Amino acid sequence: VLGIDPGTAITGFGVVEQNEEPRLVDAGAILTKAGTPLPERLLAIHQQLSSVIDAFQPDAVAVEELFFSKNARTAMSVGHARGVVLLAAAQAGLPIFNYKPAEVKVAVTGYGNAAKPQVQEMVRLLLHLDEIPKPDDVADAIAVALCHLQSAYLRQLMAEE
């Protein structure tokens, strides 16, 4: 699964697979420069994310839902990046799953109001990593992928009943 934390400045991604336990396949950040016109930034996100999808052929894309902050401009900017992420996934014919930040926190830490450092430390522990992935957006994207894997597992269990 490809987990994504969208943003216009930094879009984090994490490719996680699950066999006996989850394993990080790859992770990184798509960076765009401040001051670059928005359409160019969105194009760069789309192109680089499409390359990640082509390279790793995920079964699904898990995206963090937009969290409305007090800053409307930031929310709009993240919304634009999220739209480009959804477009890249749809163009690849991949199923898209959306998760609220609280759902991701519960899946990874067991607590819906967990602080960002707690989520990041659990990502490190669950995947047996030496260090917390950086920047924060990468750790967040990996957490979204882990949330999807747990949700998919639970959906499978329920379907078997």
Helix runs in the chain, H state only? 38-56, 72-91, 101-109, 116-126, 136-160
- Is 52 within 8 Å of 2 (Cβ atoms)? yes
Residue 4 structure tokens? 């994504």
64 tagged catalytic: yes
Query: CA–CA separation, 25 vs 55, rounded Å?
Result: 11
Q: Which residues contact 159 (CB under 8 A, 6 or more apart)?
A: none
Q: Are strands 10-18 and 22-31 parallel, antiparallel or unpaired?
A: antiparallel
130 tagged catalytic: no
- 3-state SS class at 13: strand
Q: Which of 54, 130, 136, 137 is catalytic?
A: 137
Q: Which of 5, 20, 65, 136 is catalytic?
A: 5
137 tagged catalytic: yes
**DSSP conformation class of 146:** H
Query: CA–CA separation, 34 vs 41, rounded Å?
Result: 9
Q: Which of 64, 103, 140, 160 is catalytic?
A: 64
Q: Which residues are catalytic?
A: 5, 64, 137
